[in-house]
Structure 1
């Protein structure tokens, strides 16, 4: 009695190259990118989403090279896809971490560094203002369909960075290093608030020198906290104008990363 289904090594290798290799790139990006790569979303759910996305995009992808499923070449290709997907995910982390850093700096300046909570996305303790900025940028990113742009760039990357095309090029890593400058924008986001709070602290210093008997801590701490909350409330009115150029640059760098040659 002959088996109902006979598979050759070439057919198995073709299936591995056409589905499994793209799955590694998609899954590695989902495991490292913000929102989808957080601890809030279980790993099993992320894997299901990665399989669903791969099933949808595989029919439109260019043909992949046929490899032996258990050969060393297949392992190298898997490692290549994991590195590319992880770089895509980590590059998006710069955008979100810029706002988190801005919130941390502002919390320190206004005396709320002690008010911390456990960040459910990363599992670490952060200042509440940093967590507020992180939640805010997440909602704005989703409302402006930033995740759809990321998935579009990921799909295009299989054409611009084909499987087996290599990735160790100077331009590729230059784009990765340039993305790190997004973190510097976190300081610029809260620079007006930092400047205003610095003026307040200088004023308290002058008061302390003028009246040493004045208990400046009992007056300065609550006043600095109230003024810091007011400055934060005023600065939130312009948060969208500050977010848009940062998000545009981050997504543009992501496109350059996918088209690196």
Structure 2
């Protein structure tokens, strides 16, 4: 009898496993490429095992729609993790704005999460943001989002992707991302704009001075001073960014669940 129950629960466990592991493919901090794939799979398996015995999982029998349910669970995990990464990418966009004004746009580093090149200052601020995320136990809140997603998105429900609210929600998420990136970059970019204006005035009044030689080191010095002085503002904006990220994840879950 026990073997029959275990065999009957395997399809439902696979649905839980697919959603949890899909979360870890795109979820910030958990999807880093320098984390071995074996660790991600093992952590996802044991987390799915704990969730399977904790949440109320209905008995799912394999039929013609079971493959579609597997694809739906994978899509839920990928989309919610991706929307969280999109919100957190505001830090690197702000760093790109700062790098462009500093003259660091040509010096990029490899992002360990995507494997692509990212701005130097953006990766610097992103590292601070991840450390701050760990310090305030933000990774626990993201795992809570994975756990409570089953309350908002039932396992046997279908996603309303044809609804226009989904496109509006994604557009609003992009809007929030760019607003926060702009607010993070304004202190440094604004000061560097004033430095450009001052160098332009000096170039007109003192033609003997080569502003191209003086301007680049001066802008780098001013940018680092402003970054040092405004690091507290950055932390406040990063905290607001985390709140926006968690609220966006929950909003997308409610939208998928039809709430």
Calculate the TM-score normalised by the size of structure 1. 0.89
Aligned mates of 1:63, 1:223 — CA distance in 2:
62
SS in 1 for 2:230: helix
Which residue does 2:252 correspond to in 1?
A: 257
- The count of residues paired between Structure 1 and Structure 2 equals 253
SS of 2:69's equivalent in the other structure is helix
Larger mean Cα displacement after TM superposition, 207-216 or 71-80: 207-216
1:158 and 2:150 correspond? yes
Partner of 2:213: 218
**In structure 2, what is the Cα distance between the partners aligned to 1:20 and 1:72?**
16
Partner of 2:233: 238
* Long gaps (5+) in structure 1: none
Match of 2:86 in 1: 94
Q: How far is the alpha carbon of 1:80 from its aligned partner?
A: 0.2
Shift of 1:118: 2.1
Cα shift at 1:159: 2.0
Q: Displacement of 1:96 after TM fit?
A: 2.1
1:52 aligns with 2:46: yes
Q: 1:107: how far off? A: 1.1
What does 1:139-154 correspond to in 2, within 5 Å?
139-154=131-146
Unaligned runs of 5+ in 2: none
| 1:207 equivalent in structure 2 | 202
Distance 1:172 1:113 in 2: 34
Deviates more, 1:164-173 or 1:75-84: 164-173
Distance 1:95 1:144, change over 3 A: farther
3-state SS, counterpart of residue 113 of structure 2: coil
Instruction: Say if 1:159 and 1:225 are closer, same or farther in 2 by CA, change over 3 A.
Output: same
2:22 maps to: 28
Match of 1:104 in 2: 96
The answer to whether the Cα contact below 8 Å between 1:154 and 1:258 also exists between their aligned partners in 2 is: no
Which residue of 184, 188, 198 corresponds with 1:189?
184
Quick check: 210-219 or 82-91, which moved more? 210-219
Aligned counterparts of 2:96 and 2:64: Cα–Cα separation in 1: 46
What TM-score comes out, normalization by structure 2 length?
Answer: 0.90
